Amino acid sequence: MTDITHSDAGRLAPLWPLAAGSALLALLWLGPLPQMARASFSAHMVMHMGVVAVVAPLLAAGIVRAAPAFVAALPPGLAIVASVVEFAAIWTWHAPALHDAARVEPLFLVLEQGSFLAAGVLVWTSALGARAAGVCGLLLTSMHMVLLGALLLLSPRPLYACADVCSSTAALTPLADQQLGGALMLIIGGSAYLVGGLALLSSILRERAPIGEAG
């Protein structure tokens, strides 16, 4: 019995990213953030960045460990397509009408968060499988995260109907709340995908270095 238990533990240990990602996702979606996000753009952004920049790479790492053959068989071009899909999802859901709907309507919030999770997992999983193309996909995603974050941070006026959506007891003005959310996207989102792309590039170069030295 002890041998079987140790064997099972050994097989399950590499899958810890799936468990960690699932636990964090439950905390983000079932904790206080969804309610806080109704009254705070920055709280909404914390939930968004948690899903795409932390949960998604954890789940992708778990998928790679659980099904390496499946991930290796993914076409390299999928990493670029996935980055375009995530670009479309993020920019679409940050259009004022859709974003405001997600802040007040549970159905739209579920659709928004579900699309963020699906796009994020697709980007990270395809990047880890494609390697070289994955570097391009992650760096492209980092760029548009930074661009949107800067737009939100530097806008001279609120882009959303925060005066109607936010609580009258909100600690920040609508503009300050939006600016904080933009800074979170710029720093967390931009950095996560940039670091992921550079780490992937570094692993490729390390693998090729012995070949170059031998030549």
pTM summary value: 0.88
Query: Is 129 within the bounds of a domain?
Result: yes
Residue 43 domain-assigned (yes or no): yes
Separation CA 200–CA 179 (nearest Å): 31
Which residues contact residue 176 at a Cβ distance below 8 angstroms, ignoring those fewer than 6 apart? none
Q: Domain for residue 5, yes or no?
A: no
Residue 42 lies in a domain: yes
Rounded distance between C-alpha atoms, residue 58 and residue 136, angstroms: 20
In a domain, 99, yes or no: yes
Over the chain (215 residues), the average pLDDT of each successive run of 10 is 50 82 97 92 95 97 94 93 97 95 94 97 95 93 96 94 62 89 96 95 82 50
Note whether residue 145 is domain-resident: yes
**pLDDT value, residue 4:** 47
What is the predicted pLDDT for the residue at 39? 86
Q: Is residue 6 part of a domain?
A: no
What is d(CA 132, CA 173) in angstroms, rounded to the nearest whole number? Answer: 43
